[in-house]
Amino acid sequence: MISSLQADAVLEAQAGSLHLTVRKAAMRDIGPILDLINGYAAGGIMLPRTEFEMSEAIRDFTVVYGGGRFLGCGALHFYSPTAGEIRSLAVHEYAKQHGVGRRLVSALVEEAQQYELDAVFAFTYVEEFFGKVGFQVVERGALPLKAWKDCLRCPKFQACDEIAVLRVLRPGHWHGTQAHSWGPAMMADDPLIQIPIPTPRNS
């Protein structure tokens, strides 16, 4: 769930920047995606992924290329008929000044709209980035428990410090479906998953 994006990844492409190609990922992109994500995972910024996991999830992913180089990736993962998560956002260090982060989020939001989702959410350390692309900070407990499944293998699970952000895509539908989609019925599917609460440090 953790994103590698930094605040400057939201910058608009500068004059003379690369021409960016944004498209849905294909199997041939698994290698570059894994190299990028696992490179950040080695630094504790993202969760590591395996080739098997990527093969299962490749249809969630969108990639960006520029100048013949792989520049970044992101995924839209569905959690209910009305909501999805933007996850696995990663941009190469050399691509930060080309607006790749903004283009990725824009493409994933557009995809969510095509599927008529009411809202998309994300977990991040970079509140500023998501604020600039239309997301608002929300309480983590307001998100579906299914969204926390990946957290079970995160070393920070018991002391999570990520920020939950949400972008409502269809306001008229969202308020009417939120309680139904993320209410007791969904919680009953995962009764043993507890939302992480930061652990007090010993003095």
Task: Quote the mean pLDDT of the chain.
Answer: 77
Please name the amino acid found at residue 157. F
Tell me the domain boundaries of the chain.
Answer: 7-173
Joined together, the tokens standing for residue 115 give 């599927």
Start-to-end CA distance of the chain, whole Å, equals: 30
The reported pTM is 0.76
What average pLDDT does range 111-125 have in this prediction? Answer: 92
Q: What pLDDT is recorded for position 124?
A: 85
Query: Are 196 and 90 spatial neighbours (Cβ–Cβ below 8 Å)?
Result: no
**Fold category of 7-173 in CATH:** Aminopeptidase (3.40.630)
What confidence tens digit (pLDDT) does each residue in 25-81 have?
999 999 999 999 999 989 888 888 999 999 999 999 999 999 889 999 999 999 888
Burial of residue 153 (number of CB atoms within 10 Å: 0-12, 13-18, 19+): exposed
